[in-house]
Structure 1
Amino acid sequence: MATTLTGGNPHIIQLPKTPSNVPSNPQSVAQQWLSALEVQISRSENLNIKELFHEESWWRDMLALDWDMRTVHTATEIQNFLSKQQTKAQPSNFTLQDTGKFQPRLEQVVDGLTWVSSMFFFETAFGTGTGMLRLTQNEDGVWKAYTMYTALQELNSAQEPLGKRRPVGTTESMPGGLAGGTWIERRDRQKEFLDEEPATLVVGAGQAGLNMGARLQNLGISCLIVDKSERVGDNWRNRYRTLVTHDPAEYTHMAYLPFPQNWPQFTPKDKLGDWFEAYANIMELNIWMQTSVVSAEYDEAAGQWTVVLARGDGSQRTVQPRHLVWCTGHSGEAKIPSFPGQETFQGNLYHGSQHRDASETDIRGRKVVVVGTGNSGHDIAQNFYENGADVTLLQRSGTYVITAEKGVFMMHSGMHEDGGPPTEQCDIVSESLPWPVQFALAAHMTKNIAEAEKETLDGLRQAGFELDFGIDGAGITRAYFTRGGGYYIDVGCSQLIIDGKIKVKHSPGGINGFGHHELLLANGDSLPADVVVLATGYDNMRTTVRKVLGDKVADRCSDVWDLDAEGELQAMWRPSGHPGFWYFGGNLALCRVYSKFLALQIKAVEAGLSTGVRQ
């Protein structure tokens, strides 16, 4: 059995082929392997775990063994990694999950690949964790690990006040008793930070900032969230009028507070904005709206920021947090290209981020060109068509298309869905495979989805729309985590293209420039246009850091997104390169999942367990 790298790309792999033998007792297989691992890993020296892993195997660790997110590949490297980390982390008390869907079971993952999988629990010197093991047989029928996952869930020194540990809530039980004031009196002082400095300043009150604030405060870390908008939720309310989420409700819950049972499957933007506002109040988050960062300086010796904030009433406030969490949005800084002649264009030209609604002006019969065929480009084109415009999508290269009606639900089948396992367990399982393995599996899922959506995809091809299933055919999964785009989750525009109601124009070489009333294309063609919308995507978050905080900070930070050499996301949710500075973002589900891990990293720094700097 082998896993090989192909095409010169270290993140394209070939999944192993396994024998067809079926174990009579998956629980026994998993228990024997886990017990053998614990025996080896408990040794203070002469660790020898290579016999328990295939040579082409993987271990993904989130903070349990190292205060970072790590993907280690091959049995040799896994042994080296464990030899380095085991004395410090001291993993022990490995216990298999014994109830529910994720107890030991045999899974036929794809044709030719079968494994025994199980969730398990463990302890370290610093806290408790949860993991996933996946065992496959070699040619001799011996069960060894193909992938192993370990994730810290809670620190011994900072247990979350959940369930039976919830606070009492009476005035007498609060610090200082009645002398400290009632709940509302304390909240009024907390929100203005009249008695302390915030340990953490979170910039941005979208899904990233709100999840982050809730996690930090639950770990006892004081947190101030600032946002330049007028109200919490305006980052969604102020988008184009017809926007709804493209991910289903069961997948997009916020930390600690799932949507109600009667919540719509796909959430309208204004409804989501109202939910954010309610969430901020329920979670008792300290938020200053209409507030922006004027300047930020970091004192390396003191391990502290000095941040000047401009507030909505015209005043300024200087705060000195130890951590700055940048939650301005993975798609926060518009990427706006410029073209020759655009200053002489007689029509209306703007970036997709500035689009509100085509009904705001009489657009009937006017020629609209939308440049770009990702989610925003399609949604904006559909919005113009529905208001009577003559719409053309300008497509430079192929786009992956998946429908919200079929494909999206196929991706979440058996996991984040009504009647599925608990969200917390689904989150662990969904993040437990290294990204290269997830991409390889995604290629199989993409084929299955394409078969289910054949009618739509064939119709798009016939209409002249170019499809692209991505590197190695991995579809939306690889496109999102490596490019942050290049796909469309279809909520209606595809049928308009198929029916010829929205036209498609190819220009592989892009745009040469603008005339007075047209777009000039690289192939010599031109497109008449009254309105041109540049749905050209967004720049790296580091660009926003440079724009707001300056070169001194930005030069020490890494670029964000795409995979590093190990196969983990660069800088996001983990050390950024600059001490005390953290990037945080992603869709609603990722913000729920990874806010826990970033909050734990910050708490570890506060407790003196970690430096917060990548080693």
Structure 2
Amino acid sequence: MSDNSAKDIASKWLKDFGSFLWTVDTEGLASSFHSDGWLRDTLVFTWNNRARCGPEKIVQYIRDSNLKPETISQFELDERAYFAPEHGPLMRGASGVSFGFKFTTPIAFGRGYARLLLDESSNVWKALTVFMTVDDLIGHEEAGPELGVYDGHTVAWSDVHEERRRRIETDPYVLIVGGGQTGLNVASRFLRMNIPCLVVEQNPRIGDNWRKRYPTLSLHTPRSHHPMLYQPFPDHWPIYTPRDKIANWLEQYAVCQDLIIWNNSHPIPTPSYDYSAKKWTITVNRSGEHVTLHPRHVVLATGTLGHPRIPRIVNIEQFKGPITHSSEYAGANALLSKSAGKRVVVVGAGNTSADICQDLCFHGAEVTMVQRSSTCVVSASGVRKGLEMRYPPDVPTAVSDFKFFSMPLPYIKRLLSKEKDRLAANEKDLQDGLRKAGMDINMGPDGTGNFLLVFEKLGGYWLDVGCADMIASGKIKIKQGVEIESATSDTVTFADGSTLPADALVLATGYESIRDTMREIFGDETMDKTSLVWGLDEEGELLGSYRPTGHPGLWFATGDFVNSRFSSKQLALEIKAIELGLMQV
């Protein structure tokens, strides 16, 4: 079929779909979708992100939104590169038509993306997925580049920047807590959206949240998947970004993006919120000086995960060797130099544990990994292949982000479920070796791999870069299905009564939720009003992140590079809408 026929198919469907929304023809709207089709909405019908499956639920959602006739209009195809209508596979054994589109509302410019599949029973093209999102509020569009010449070429840029810094430091509209990749992406987005924001970061330097991790750490996703917003990596950048390179990249990114940041700074207990003035009173410890600010919004971007989770081990104080949580693991040489021997027990079987075990084994330690529950283990090379299909290196990141987020996560799960036999076959040799070594291995929810575990649990998996071979060959031992219950000076005893000699312990036991950690700062009364953070709600949308939390003026920004790159726009639009009186709090 020709490209013209793809355009014809898309044009006809979009014309009908736009007409149904213009007149609020719910019967016609229902006919636009397959029986298991999805509508994903971000801020168009409600000031939130929602997803509904099936014509009946989609129609009920539109009814509940109280959409008025003649509200959504001017539907047209987006014929730019990467968004023009095209034929291609939509799922295993089925091809269809995918395309971008544009529309307007009385207050916003919108964008969307649809995937159509021919309904063979009616010979009508219907939607498998439709994504609709606010792209910009009219009159408050995301800014492009400045001219770079100020006041007729009479004022230096450094003076302009210093004046902007002074205004923001005196009266920030938003306070962003956390200067890692998430906080920086959000701050960059806010800057383009004319939302004055100040970032406070507890570390001395931007990037220290990475520099403090173990030396061999590299991101296990390919570089096309983890650039920062607005600023791609150079062509020679490593496929898997090492710890120190990402740390230094974040530091220069903050400078290049003109972000206003206080290092060595953190909020102190207990901020208060004035419901009448709709402002916070929050005191920041800035390098020892207490500074009180009154932002209208606080964005918590300190990471999805909070404080390290430390298991309770009876008589742990008797253990003579070093005990280190993985968050403080500084490498094999540093740990072994503190130990009287080389017998190391590593508790946990996720990504970090695998990296640490591999590092210790390579440096001559006798390593036992304690796997307490089943783990999804897949090869990093296989994950790279899958991610580079969704994030091709030669396609702009913003394009890949838009297309990825146009798909509800349950729809992606459905696609992966159709591939589960192939996914399992690809990992069979790796996983069989681990099972023979005594590990309990799975292929993720419904055999879909690690992908959904990222969003459901942010754990329970590892992407293998060599640890599996060390386990399969017996170089790394496995203790499976039990917790450490108690310790002596040089042994650990498990719940089943067995013991292991140990000279050092590494606890790769994960972290508590950011919501619980922030109770130390904001108090229970405030945090109890917020929703759960991370995991998926009943519609397959992320809980508590980049959407209203239940407490006015308090937001969570969580997830990896992808989440903050894309969803920072949603958060910026929500805050701007509140400022303009369009969204109620």
TM-score normalised according to structure 1 size: 0.89
Residue aligning to 1:460:
434
Identity %: 36
Residue aligning to 1:305:
280
State whether residues 517 and 529 of structure 1, in contact with CA within 8 Å, keep that contact through their aligned partners in structure 2: yes
Deviates more, 1:247-256 or 1:188-197: 188-197
State whether residues 114 and 127 of structure 2, in contact with CA within 8 Å, keep that contact through their aligned partners in structure 1: yes
Q: Distance in 1 between matches of 2:101 and 2:66?
A: 20
Residue aligning to 1:123:
104
Q: Distance in 1 between matches of 2:295 and 2:46?
A: 25
Residue aligning to 1:17:
none
Alignment CA distance shift 1:364-1:446 (3 Å): farther
Q: Distance in 1 between matches of 2:281 and 2:69?
A: 34
Residue aligning to 1:55:
35
Q: How far is the alpha carbon of 1:107 from its aligned partner?
A: 3.2
Q: How far is the alpha carbon of 1:323 from its aligned partner?
A: 0.5
Residue aligning to 2:496:
523
Deviates more, 1:87-96 or 1:352-361: 87-96
Q: Quick one: which of 417, 430, 436 aligns to 2:392?
A: 417
Q: Deviations over 1:519-569 (max 9, x none)?
A: 211222112111111111111111122122111211111110111122211
How many pairs are equivalent? 580
Q: How far is the alpha carbon of 1:201 from its aligned partner?
A: 0.1
State whether residues 56 and 146 of structure 1, in contact with CA within 8 Å, keep that contact through their aligned partners in structure 2: yes
Matching of residue 367 in structure 1 with residue 338 in structure 2: no
Q: Deviations over 1:338-358 (max 9, x none)?
A: 122222223322321121112
Matching of residue 80 in structure 1 with residue 53 in structure 2: no
Q: Distance in 2 between matches of 1:243 and 1:442?
A: 28
Residue aligning to 1:198:
172
Alignment CA distance shift 1:554-1:572 (3 Å): same
State whether residues 365 and 390 of structure 1, in contact with CA within 8 Å, keep that contact through their aligned partners in structure 2: no
Alignment CA distance shift 1:198-1:258 (3 Å): same
Deviates more, 1:51-60 or 1:538-547: 51-60
Q: Quick one: which of 85, 96, 100 aligns to 1:104?
A: 85
Amino acid at match of 2:35: E
State whether residues 116 and 128 of structure 2, in contact with CA within 8 Å, keep that contact through their aligned partners in structure 1: yes
Residue aligning to 2:44:
64
Q: Distance in 2 between matches of 1:608 and 1:208?
A: 27
Alignment CA distance shift 1:208-1:311 (3 Å): same
SS at match of 1:161: coil
Deviates more, 1:264-273 or 1:360-369: 360-369
State whether residues 89 and 125 of structure 1, in contact with CA within 8 Å, keep that contact through their aligned partners in structure 2: no
Amino acid at match of 1:146: L
Q: Distance in 2 between matches of 1:610 and 1:99?
A: 31
Residue aligning to 1:211:
185
Q: How far is the alpha carbon of 1:192 from its aligned partner?
A: 4.3
Q: How far is the alpha carbon of 1:45 from its aligned partner?
A: 7.0
State whether residues 541 and 559 of structure 1, in contact with CA within 8 Å, keep that contact through their aligned partners in structure 2: no
Aligned counterparts, 1:250-261, within 5 A:
250-261=224-235
Residue aligning to 2:312:
338
State whether residues 346 and 370 of structure 2, in contact with CA within 8 Å, keep that contact through their aligned partners in structure 1: yes
Q: Quick one: which of 299, 311, 322 aligns to 1:325?
A: 299
Q: Deviations over 1:492-537 (max 9, x none)?
A: 212211222111111x242322233222112221121111111111
Q: Distance in 1 between matches of 2:22 and 2:400?
A: 29
Deviates more, 1:102-111 or 1:472-481: 102-111
Q: Distance in 2 between matches of 1:365 and 1:347?
A: 9
Q: Deviations over 1:187-242 (max 9, x none)?
A: 23433447840000000000011001100011111100001100011011111111
Alignment CA distance shift 1:22-1:146 (3 Å): farther
State whether residues 89 and 126 of structure 1, in contact with CA within 8 Å, keep that contact through their aligned partners in structure 2: no
Amino acid at match of 2:71: Q
Deviates more, 1:491-500 or 1:107-116: 107-116
Q: How far is the alpha carbon of 1:96 from its aligned partner?
A: 2.1
| Structure 1 segments unaligned to the other structure (5+ residues) | 1-20
Amino acid at match of 1:306: T
Q: How far is the alpha carbon of 1:590 from its aligned partner?
A: 1.8
Residue aligning to 1:159:
141
Residue aligning to 2:370:
394
SS at match of 1:478: helix
Q: Distance in 2 between matches of 1:85 and 1:302?
A: 30
Matching of residue 137 in structure 1 with residue 118 in structure 2: yes
Alignment CA distance shift 1:228-1:441 (3 Å): same
Residue aligning to 1:25:
5
SS at match of 1:475: coil
SS at match of 1:172: coil
Residue aligning to 1:474:
448
Q: Distance in 1 between matches of 2:91 and 2:71?
A: 35
Residue aligning to 2:577:
604
Alignment CA distance shift 1:60-1:571 (3 Å): same
Alignment CA distance shift 1:497-1:46 (3 Å): closer
Amino acid at match of 1:325: V
Alignment CA distance shift 1:299-1:371 (3 Å): same
Q: How far is the alpha carbon of 1:439 from its aligned partner?
A: 1.6
Q: Quick one: which of 247, 258, 262 aligns to 1:284?
A: 258
State whether residues 31 and 96 of structure 1, in contact with CA within 8 Å, keep that contact through their aligned partners in structure 2: yes
SS at match of 1:608: coil
Q: How far is the alpha carbon of 1:143 from its aligned partner?
A: 2.1
Matching of residue 43 in structure 1 with residue 23 in structure 2: yes
Q: Distance in 1 between matches of 2:141 and 2:2?
A: 41
Amino acid at match of 1:299: D
Alignment CA distance shift 1:366-1:291 (3 Å): same
SS at match of 2:128: strand
Matching of residue 244 in structure 1 with residue 223 in structure 2: no
Matching of residue 532 in structure 1 with residue 505 in structure 2: yes
Q: Distance in 1 between matches of 2:202 and 2:5?
A: 58
State whether residues 340 and 503 of structure 2, in contact with CA within 8 Å, keep that contact through their aligned partners in structure 1: no
Alignment CA distance shift 1:106-1:186 (3 Å): closer
Deviates more, 1:371-380 or 1:108-117: 108-117
Q: Distance in 1 between matches of 2:146 and 2:100?
A: 30
State whether residues 62 and 68 of structure 1, in contact with CA within 8 Å, keep that contact through their aligned partners in structure 2: yes
Q: Distance in 2 between matches of 1:185 and 1:575?
A: 37
Q: How far is the alpha carbon of 1:66 from its aligned partner?
A: 1.8
Q: Distance in 1 between matches of 2:96 and 2:322?
A: 57
Which runs of 4 or more aligned residues in structure 1 lie more than 6 Å from their structure 2 counterparts after TM superposition? 21-24
Q: Quick one: which of 539, 545, 552 aligns to 1:572?
A: 545
Q: How far is the alpha carbon of 1:102 from its aligned partner?
A: 4.0
Amino acid at match of 1:417: P
Alignment CA distance shift 1:572-1:187 (3 Å): same
